[in-house]
Structure 1
Amino acid sequence: MSMEDAVTLGLKALKKATEEEKLNPKAVEIGVVRHGDNFRRLDESEVETFIAKVNQE
């Protein structure tokens, strides 16, 4: 599974668990760790891009 697919899946689960119609990018933080890399927090524009995709579904 790609990092993008994993983030999207996590956001879909969060959306379903909160029973909100749309996720709020200001209320969500996303961090990723890839093999061989350090932890990285996605910046606000990256989070907004992922959330926009999930909110459209």
Structure 2
Amino acid sequence: MSVTSHLQELKKKHQHLSTTVEQMQRSPGVDDLHVANLKKQKLRIKEQITRLSSQPH
């Protein structure tokens, strides 16, 4: 997988997690632990995106 396609996949995953977290936070009785785990995943993906974006292609 090329770096560009990998970055695109990571960005899709990050966007999906963002949407999921937003929806969950609007729902009553949301599982705060699950939301926190999703936010951690989102952060790890964002860090990967940043790291890969800063590398020369």
| TM-score for the superposition, normalised by structure 1 | 0.39
Q: Which of the pair is proportionally richer in helix?
A: 2
Q: Which of the pair is proportionally richer in strand?
A: 1
